[in-house]
Copies of this chain bind each other. A is one copy, B any other.
Amino acid sequence: MFRTDERRLDQWERRVEWPLTCLAALFLAAYAWQVLDDRSTPGLHGVLEAVLRAVWLVFAVDYAVRLKPAVDKRRFFTAHLFDLVAVLLPAVRVLRLLTVLKLLNRRFAGRVRQRIGVYVAGVTVLVGACASLAVLDAERHHPDATITTFGDAAWWTLTTISTVGYGDRYPVTWEGRLVAALLMVGGIALLGVITGTTASWLVERLSGVEGSVAEAERATLAELRPVKAELAALRAELEHRPGV
């Protein structure tokens, strides 16, 4: 019975994967429209708000549907933590778009570093876009704000995630600073992953560990083979001697 539930869950996840990704794209589009079009009529604003809430509802329903048949609820929580965060935090939902990267993944199967590169680039662009929108939304109407257009917001995002931080633009509201905190953590992680990938590539290429091991092993095998041949010859000789 457990197995059936597990399989049904798998089927469900595969079936809703692409629709949910499209919904995430819709969410990003609606959110961007809402933030960027500051002079939208109340009617349009209501439509966009409805779209955002509907997407949220779909994500919440999907989470509930998948939670219900799960046998070990606690394991489900830890394994699907990202999904829970996506339900609770609107902006995270957009990261669902990374599913699109699975198409690229198929091309880079086996080449782990290329896949890491594609994911890092994808996450950086998506997080950057969302952070720009969120910080613009938070700062725009503050009297002391230095970030008042999307161009400013994108520029600020760039200077923050690269840890350059000129200081010509910076958030002054606490929502904006929260976005900044997430971006900085992202920037540090970004540096870590880029450096780590480079280092691992260099270690592999330069230290020649694999090469030297393979060579040493080949030497051992080369020594072993004549031993085997010798033994076989010895045995053959013993067997075919008539007088023994």
Chain B residues near A202 (CB-CB < 8 A)? 112-113, 116, 196-197, 199-200
Asked if A233 CB lies within 8 Å of chain B CBs, one says yes
Chain B min CB distance to A149 (Å): 11
Chain B residues near A224 (CB-CB < 8 A)? 220, 223-224, 227
Chain B residues near A199 (CB-CB < 8 A)? 192, 195-197, 199-200, 202-203
- The answer to whether B212 touches A212, judged by C-beta atoms less than 8 angstroms apart, is no
- The answer to whether B164 touches A206, judged by C-beta atoms less than 8 angstroms apart, is no
Complex: how many Å from CA A191 to CA B210? 27
Tell me the residues in window 137-174 of chain A with beta carbons closer than 8 Å to chain B beta carbons: 151, 155, 158-160, 162-168, 170, 174
Q: Bits for A192-221, please: 1 = Cβ < 8 Å to B, else 0.
A: 111111111111111111101110110111
Choose among A170, A195, A209 the residue with the greatest number of B CB atoms under 10 Å from its CB.
Answer: A195
A-side interface residues, number (CB < 8 Å): 72
- The answer to whether A195 touches B192, judged by C-beta atoms less than 8 angstroms apart, is yes
Chain B residues near A185 (CB-CB < 8 A)? 162
- The answer to whether B206 touches A209, judged by C-beta atoms less than 8 angstroms apart, is no
Complex: how many Å from CA A205 to CA B206? 11
Q: Bits for A83-106, please: 1 = Cβ < 8 Å to B, else 0.
A: 000000000000000000000000
Given contacts A164-B187, A198-B195, A203-B200, contact A228 B228 (CB under 8 A): no
- 8 Å CB contact of A217 from B158, B197, B219, B233: B219
Complex: how many Å from CA A151 to CA B180? 14
Choose among A158, A159, A189, A232 the residue with the greatest number of B CB atoms under 10 Å from its CB.
Answer: A159
Chain B residues near A45 (CB-CB < 8 A)? none
- The answer to whether A188 touches B194, judged by C-beta atoms less than 8 angstroms apart, is yes
Complex: how many Å from CA A30 to CA B21? 49
Chain B residues near A195 (CB-CB < 8 A)? 191-192, 195-196, 198-199
A-B contact pairs, 18 of them (CB 8 A): A112-B206, A151-B174, A155-B177, A158-B184, A160-B164, A162-B184, A167-B168, A196-B199, A207-B210, A209-B210, A213-B213, A219-B221, A221-B223, A223-B225, A227-B227, A230-B231, A237-B239, A243-B244
